[in-house]
Structure 1
Amino acid sequence: MAVNISVLILLLIAYLGATFYVAYLGYRKNSKTEGYMLAGRGVHPAIMALSYGAAFISTSAIIGFGGVAASLGMGLLWLVFMNIFFGIFIAFVIFGPRTRRMGLNLGAITYPEFIGKRFQSKFIQAFSGLLIGVFMPLYASSVIIGAGRFLETTLGLNYNIALVIFTIIIASYVIKGGLLSVMYVDAMQAILMLFGMGFLLIYTYSMLGGVTEAHQTLTDMANLVPPALAAQGHQGWTSMPAFGSPIWWTMVSTIIMGVGIGVLAQPQLAVRFMTVKDDRSLKRAVAVGGPFLLMMVGVAYAIGALSNVYFYRTMGVISLQAVPDGNTDLIMPAFLNHAMPEMFVTLFMLCLLSAAMSTAAAQFHTMGTAIGYDVYQQSIMKGKSRATVHVTKIGIAFTILVAVILAYILPGSIIARATAMFMGLCTSAFLSLFIGALFWKRTTKAGAIASLVIGSLSSLFWLTFVHAKEAVPLGICQAIFGKETLLTGTWPLVDPILIATPLSLIALVVVSLMTPQFSPEFLKKAFRLRFEDEKEESSEKVPSSAADSAGV
């Protein structure tokens, strides 16, 4: 379907104008280093929740995982439950308050600095910053690939040109405005995304005859599953894959577990807990973040699967057969361009741009602070350099360049895969360490280092030499050992998260029990609740007359 270019240009001008204006509002409120890096620690709970959700949900979910749902079916809806339960409820109610308080007690302004100061280890801060700076560009590249592919299929733009334009727009306000600008723009974009996904949900079900007819038709299409997918366990688009089959392992261990639980250990999300002023703000944010994620991922995965009904009715083929080379990254763009009204395609392009921009902006800021602040300023320069913000901006620019280069060279159908890879790596490296930092005072410096290093290296080893999805394309195992994977049978189907995360947890517990723990004074400082401080501050603000009348 052709897009009205004149209307699109006007909408883009209005959209970009609003984006830069909102970013400017955030920039004006920045206060040097803490404002640039951590948004001033006073963000409204609704802004935090929308920014958190928008940073988490991107074209990886809408384009990448929507395409995977078109291929594998509605079993991906289990990931929606995991996203909301772990990504919102557990994150905001259990992890968030302790992260906020401890970060404030220790004076941390980045995620690597948070865990580094918690365990009094410059090595942990530097290693974590390097891990983020080296591997997050892979995740960031998958996000800008999704935006580039949609611009390519919708506007007919050259893919390479689309990538450059998109990246320059984001870089301009991330580098200049800092985290508060990013969060303000995220919130604006999240509202636009809600309207877009709401219309997509209602229009698709109306077009397909209603909820019952659409789902029944999809169920009746089970006989159309391609033989190659059926042989790997595909049992239809409304059924889970056969237990223990290759597709079951991919869906459950890599996608549902890797992305569903991995959200708890995402640096660009965890740092947002430290941007609000109190614990109450985090709990209030649940009421905003939960419904937002439900609309984003729930709609994307359901509509992705239902695209098979549309393509079969209109073209006589399933979704995988309606796009070149069965590239799942092209399914959702193709569905939107073929099935939706012309004006909606134009508006939804802005919705997808918002999704990609919000996530990419969060990634760019996190990568830049990891390289510029945690690795260079705090580790290499030992904190002696005073040009924190300037160095961070250079770090952001450098990691953006790396992400763009990767976006040019990565293969097709990579969006969901790259997202799951990075989230799995973060889970293996950081989750056990993060839990120990927040909830187990007996965790020692040596135990934390062992957990971080073993989790990271075992995950990377499994990706390179065992897990077939990565090991076979990489070819390193083939070059060294003369075979595609070191292990055979079911092992090449098992995601690294199921191997590396338990090893990381075991290392944390065993080494911590064998090494000296931190002093009671330090633990008291790190775990101190700030309620007493807040009460004192509030009492100081009470007018003397009121204090006198209260008997103070």
Structure 2
Amino acid sequence: MTDIYNIITFLSLILFISILFYLSLKSRVKENNIEVYAVGNKSFSSLSVSLSLAASLTSAATFIINPGFISLYGLSAYLAFGIVMPTAIFFALVIFIKRFRRYGMNVKSISIADWLGKRYDSKFLKLFFGFLSILLITFIVLICVGITKVISKALDVNELIVLISLVVIVFSYMMIGGANAMVYTNSIQAILMVVVALILIWSGSEYLINNDIGFFERLKSIDPQLIKPFNDKSPLFRDFFEVFICNAIVGIAIVCQPHILTKSLLIKKEEQVNRFLIYTILILILFFSVVFTGFYARLGFPDLMFNGVPLKMDGIMSAYVVQRFPIYMGILVILGLFAAGLSTLEGLIQSIPTTITNDLIVPILNKINPKNYKIIKINMALTVLVAIISIILSHQQLVSPSLSVGIFAQNGVYAFFSAAFVPVFFGIFTSTQNKWIPITASIVAVLTHFSVYYLELTPYMQNTNVKNPAIASALALIVSTTVGLIIYLIKPLKNEVVTN
């Protein structure tokens, strides 16, 4: 039965990947134009873009990695990742996207770095954020690790083989199609994710329906810490500040990522925007509910053992799927988890090399030797380099993670959007052209984030093997926003241009 399961799973994955390749070929970029590659040249429906954005925002973190945090740390982790952060993200999407889109459409921005450079007329900001976008490779690593864990366990294949195959396949079809391909593939993936999200949420219903022993009583019998709103034995969810304040701040700032805000530029008609936001939030509510499955997994593995082997946090969901579902249902769920990872992975593959190429490499090359470079070819070469780096870092996280690849990814991604928040916020909500606000605030944010994390500033970072990147990010956001406001209030420019 195991061999049949592996074979059917493998064939299902091949079929699914073949469909994605077909969509990429169908929508491939024929023009030698990086703008078309980055934001597309087609008009998509609001539902299609909503599915694409919802899929990009949730990814392997929500479907594979974060349920592991909840299995280990219980209610405190669920409040952080299932309630507080999603609510903050919904709020930020509504507030930020309309304003960003208004300016982004006017100047045809293809990345956050490009948007900031044009908004403040600053070459430094464009170069700086082109450089900082390298940090987002950590998110690619998270997704690669999550998918690799699921597929390797389902196929009973060596993790390194799965990892290399995954990176080669996905990077290849994204290089063919760019943004047009991404919306098509994300829509297919998001539909599959909707089905699988419903299956996963229902998969532990017996624990909720059975009134003989209450759901939380079952969890309490395993570990009383699992039902506490603050888990003082965890490194990440110890008190109100870590669970609520940090995740609310991070949730708002998380929207300031290039593969999130630039999705709004795929909506060509202004009247579609409200519908697009409503669809996105409804789909996201369903997707973020999947983290509740972490409770089911802990009830299924009370001692966190699978076939006599201790479970690592990143492998809890894959073990739950393999054990919980019958063969055909299990294959469907595996495809859904695969799709959840691919949805964001595609956005990052499209946005990171594009940002580095357009906002860092080409400006530097033009300074050295001004001429017409084949930008799309530079972008493709850089995409290959990012793929190689991703394989190396992902393998390292598979072999020796610090609790979870989620910590590694958060440290990089949180640093990026901590730096991006003030420049984007002031660029959207004020008319200032004062370059010192975004430049100073973004540098302060990066320095604060990494100083708090690596120099172990504050008691939260001391006497613990696993440090919480959300603490570093929240403090960086607070400090940099304060700095930005002070400069804005004491040194306004005389000639301010309204961005509306």
With structure 2 as the length reference, what TM-score do the two structures score? 0.89
Contact 1:254 1:420 in 2 (8 A): no
Pick which of 436-445 and 137-146 moved more: 436-445
* Structure-1 separation of matches of 2:353 and 2:386: 6
User: How far 1:241 sits from its partner (Å)?
Assistant: 1.6
- 1:55 is aligned to 2:44: no
Specify the code of the residue in structure 2 equivalent to 1:501.
L
Which amino acid is 1:121 matched to? Answer: S
The aligned residue for residue 226 of structure 2 is 237
What is the SS of the residue equivalent to 2:408?
Answer: helix
Query: Which residue does 2:329 correspond to in 1?
Result: 344
Gaps of 5+ in 2: none
Secondary structure of the structure 1 residue equivalent to 2:204: helix
Match of 1:27, SS state, is coil
Matched, 1:353 2:354: no
Other-structure match for 2:454: 464
Q: Secondary structure at the match of 2:225?
A: coil
Q: Which residue of 1 aligns with 2:137?
A: 137
Q: Which moved more, 1:237-246 or 1:174-183?
A: 237-246
What TM-score results when the alignment is normalised by the length of structure 1? Answer: 0.81
Q: Is the CA contact (8 Å cut-off) linking 2:29 and 2:178 kept in structure 1?
A: no
Work out the CA distance in 2 between the residues paired with 1:13 and 1:214: 44
Q: Calculate percent identity across the aligned residue pairs.
A: 19
1:216–1:54: structure 2 CA closer, same or farther, 3 Å change rule?
A: same
Matches within 5 A, 1:413-424: 413-424=403-414
**Do residues 498 (structure 1) and 474 (structure 2) align?**
yes
1:3-44 CA-partner distances (Å, limit 9, x unpaired): 623322332232122111222233268683321111137332
Alignment of 1:64-83 (within 5 A): 64-78=65-79, 79-83=81-85
Q: Is the 8 A contact 2:88 2:252 kept in 1?
A: yes
The residue type equivalent to 2:178 in the other structure is: G
Matches within 5 A, 1:179-258: 179-205=179-205, 208-211=206-209, 213=211, 216-225=214-223, 235-241=224-230, 247-249=237-239, 252=243, 256-257=247-248
- What residue identity is the alignment partner of 1:217? F
1:159 is displaced (CA, Å) by: 0.6
State which drifts further: 124-133 or 54-63: 54-63
* Structure 1 residue 386: Cα displacement: 3.9
Q: 1:252 to 1:46 in 2, by over 3 A?
A: same
Q: CA deviation at 1:256?
A: 2.8
Distance in 2 of aligned mates of 1:463 and 1:429: 15
Q: What does 1:386-535 correspond to in 2, within 5 Å?
A: 386-410=373-397, 411-412=400-401, 413-442=403-432, 444-466=434-456, 495-515=471-491, 517=493, 519-520=495-496, 523-524=497-498, 527-528=499-500
Cα shift at 1:191: 0.6
Contact 1:214 1:309 in 2 (8 A): no
Q: Kindly state the Cα deviation for residue 352 of structure 1 after the two structures are TM-superposed.
A: 1.4
**Residue 271 (structure 1) aligns with:** 262
Residue deviations 1:397-447 (CA, integer Å, cap 9, x gap): 212221211001122342321343234213321112211010012361011
Distance 2:212 2:160 in 1: 37
Counterparts of 2:23 and 2:213 in 1: how far apart (Å)? 41
CA 386–492 in structure 1, closer or farther in 2 if over 3 Å, else same: closer
- Find the residue that maps to 1:35 and give its secondary structure: helix
Of the structure 1 ranges 31-40 and 348-357, higher mean CA displacement relative to structure 2 is found in 31-40
The separation in 2 between residues aligned to 1:393 and 1:330, in whole angstroms, is 33
Map of 1:278-357 to 2, 5 A cutoff? 278-299=269-290, 301-311=291-301, 317-319=302-304, 324-357=309-342
CA deviation profile, 1:150-206 (whole Å, cap 9, x unmatched)? 12211111110000011111111111211121121111111111111212222331x
**Distance 1:254-1:463 versus aligned 2 partners, 3 A rule:** farther
How many residues align? The count is 490
Contact persistence 1:468–1:493 (CA under 8 A): no
Superposition deviation, residue 467 in structure 1 = 6.0
Q: Measure the CA separation in 2 of the matches of 1:152 and 1:161.
A: 9
SS of the aligned residue for 2:493 comes to coil
Aligned to 2:203, what secondary structure does the other structure show? helix
- Letter of the structure 1 residue corresponding to residue 414 of structure 2: G
Distance 2:148 2:458 in 1: 28
CA contact (8 A) 2:42 2:180 kept: no
Native 8 Å contact 1:29 1:35 kept in 2:
no
Please tell me whether the aligned partners of residues 73 and 237 of structure 1 are also in contact (alpha carbons under 8 angstroms): yes
- Partner of residue 547, structure 1: none
* Structure index of larger Rg: 1
Return the letter of the residue paired with 1:505. Answer: T
Mapping for residues 536-547 of structure 1, pairs under 5 Å: none
The answer to whether residue 340 in structure 2 is matched with residue 365 in structure 1 is no
- Equivalence for 1:116: 117
- 8 Å CA contact 2:92, 2:252 repeated in 1: no
CA RMSD of aligned residues (A): 3.0
- Distance change >3 Å, CA 30–CA 99, structure 1 → 2: farther
Shift of 1:259: 4.8
Deviation at 1:51, TM superposition (A): 1.1
Residues 201-238 of structure 1: CA deviation (Å, up to 9, x unaligned): 22331xx354464982343431432xxxxxxxxx4333
